[in-house]
Amino acid sequence: MKRVIAWIGIIILGSLYLLTLVSALLEPAIGASLFWASLYCTIIVPIIMFILMRLHDYATKGKKEFIEQMSDEETAKETETKEVETVAETEEAVENTEE
């Protein structure tokens, strides 16, 4: 289901960009407004797709498993952040040792 939603988003954005380009070439007066619409949709469409994918996960896995998955993702992000901080501290210590 996630791939289907992703492909739908790719098709929507690709067609939007193509229509904007063709319209701007044929009718320059509306090109600017279509450019802003494309820019807006470039931000909004992925957000909507993300929300749809999360709702799909919630509906298929159930509330308890969904919450566990979210907490696992947060734990993974925290671990990654700690690893980055440790690497930065190690590099800093090496630089201080070299001086």
Count the Cβ atoms, other than its own, within 10 Å of residue 25.
Answer: 9
Query: Is pLDDT above 60 for 83?
Result: yes
Higher pLDDT, 40 or 83: 40
In this prediction, residues 48-74 reach a mean pLDDT of: 77
Rounded to whole angstroms, the Cα distance separating 79 from 73 reads 10
Rounded alpha-carbon distances, angstroms, from residue 31 to 16, 77, 94:
12, 42, 55
- Per the CB < 8 A criterion, the answer to whether 34 and 23 are in contact is yes
Q: What is the pLDDT of residue 93?
A: 67
Q: What is the pLDDT of residue 99?
A: 57
Q: What is the pLDDT of residue 54?
A: 83
Rounded to whole angstroms, the Cα distance separating 38 from 97 reads 52
Q: Given pLDDT bands bounded at 50, 70 and 90, which one contains residue 52? A: confident
Q: What is the pLDDT of residue 98?
A: 62
